[in-house]
Structure 1
């Protein structure tokens, strides 16, 4: 598409019906899928792979080199799935030698001033509210919602369908299906509203609640809770996913909330 007030490198692969607004710069080695809209004053740097029907709003910077002193110019990428929106002034950095790519899934909404650092892997249908920030090497499952001004520590994992309240500092892994809040961030229940919106029935929500009651409300340590859940709860996809998440956690999972009053 002819854009006399935008710079598009001849080596960029842009689908015919992509709209690129004035004063945008698209570098070499960039791929943009059909139906995508690129607003004005956007910078898309080498290694960006943007899917179909995305919306990139003014001021966003996609695939800039990582803010990592160990980065040595490796040929790395950013992958953004289909139907994803990146709002104003968000920054998404490409990968390093660790994972070689930063990935954002399909149908995500990345709101204004969010930062997604190198080597992050973000699932489908995620919503990151304004000013939420992911440090490097973060892994986030599908259908995760981060409220405004959430800061996620490097190497943290957040399980699918989790919800993190605004202003939270996420230092530990957040298991699937839960809500995290308070300072230090703690378990405050399961994300029942989000689960209902996504079609989980009452019986399945109750099952997930029962699993987390054993983990967080029965005064067991994590190893004991895992053994009891495995022994007493019927095997289901959700049960097994929660158990595997706990076993795989490298930073440890967030704690339960206990009142000090």
Structure 2
């Protein structure tokens, strides 16, 4: 079930999330319709420029800052770190491979993902357990490798075997990005009516979609399984 963006305004202040989103996205204007003015919205134009500045090929600071940062984390935690920043997703992102088992074309992975938004002082951390099956298909006379990914588990707070890694990555992020706050899963998965995202074609979009990378294409599977851990983790940092 999809829940609309709402919170106890007497206790919490999550308006900075909404403010950041409406600054860049024209809420209430559809992206794909005849005569759409979606891309003429000043915020969308500013967002496109921002993403080129943050991740474009001319940005030498990208490798110097983010790439070196994830290498630092991987080295400290003795896990392989893989960057996942690409396209028009409004965040820098990466993950750690915590464990991998399998052989041949079938593998299981446990990973810890993290992202830092370009739209405001927000970050995201979550653990994944997934299975990956590789197959070779013929396309226009050429062999093409195709992967089928099935999500088994998502962990949204320091929990069981993910706990230590989650906490350490969070410490690294908050030390480097002073003032940034974790978007609690409970809030991040809520939807804003009329919100459509530049880099996605979904008719209805969540806060996490707007600020981060929609779980690297696994957003639909994330919505179908029960998250593990404390869904309200991080809420205390948003208290008035």
Tell me the TM-score normalised to structure 2 length: 0.24
Bigger Rg, structure 1 or 2: 1
Structure number having the greater helix percentage: 2
Larger RCO (alpha carbons 8 Å, 6+ apart)? 2
